[in-house]
Structure 1
Amino acid sequence: MNLSSVIRPEDVILDLSVATKASLLQFLAGHAAGRTGVSGQVIHSALLGRENLGSTGIGNGVAVPHAPVEGLMAPFAALVILKKPVDFEAVDDLPVDIVFLLLSPPEGTGDYLKILAAVARKTRGDRMPDMLRGARSPAAAYSLLVQEEE
Structure 2
Amino acid sequence: MTVDEILAPTDVVVGLRASGKAALLEDLARRASDALGIDVGEILPALLRRENLGSTGVGDGVALPHARLDTVQRPYGILARLRDPLDFEAVDDQPVDLVFLLLLPTGSGGEHLHALACVARRLRDPETAAALRGARDVIGLYALATGRSLTKA
| TM-score calculated relative to the size of structure 2 | 0.93
CA distance in 2, matches of 1:29, 1:123: 20
Q: Secondary structure at the match of 1:107?
A: helix
Deviations 1:110-145 (A, max 9, x none): 222111111221222421111101111111111111
Question: What residue in structure 1 maps to residue 117 of structure 2?
Answer: 117
CA distance in 2, matches of 1:82, 1:64: 13
Amino acid at match of 2:101: L
Amino acid at match of 2:65: P
**How far did 1:24 drift?**
0.1
Question: What residue in structure 1 maps to residue 55 of structure 2?
Answer: 55
Question: What residue in structure 2 maps to residue 74 of structure 1?
Answer: 74
- Say yes or no: does 1:39 pair with 2:39: yes
CA distance in 1, matches of 2:92, 2:123: 14
Question: What residue in structure 1 maps to residue 151 of structure 2?
Answer: none
CA distance in 2, matches of 1:74, 1:126: 28
Question: Where does structure 1 lack aligned partners over 5 or more consecutive residues?
Answer: none
- Residue pair 1:60, 1:125 contacting (<8 A) in 2 also: no
Q: Percent identity, aligned pairs only?
A: 45
Question: What residue in structure 1 maps to residue 144 of structure 2?
Answer: 144
Regions of 4+ moved over 4 Å: none
- Residue pair 1:12, 1:142 contacting (<8 A) in 2 also: yes
CA distance in 2, matches of 1:50, 1:72: 16
Q: Secondary structure at the match of 1:19?
A: coil
CA distance in 2, matches of 1:145, 1:113: 18
Amino acid at match of 1:14: V
Question: Where does structure 2 lack aligned partners over 5 or more consecutive residues?
Answer: 149-153
CA RMSD of aligned residues (A): 1.1
Deviations 1:17-65 (A, max 9, x none): 1110000000010000000111111100100000000000000000000
- Residue pair 1:42, 1:70 contacting (<8 A) in 2 also: no
CA distance in 2, matches of 1:125, 1:73: 28
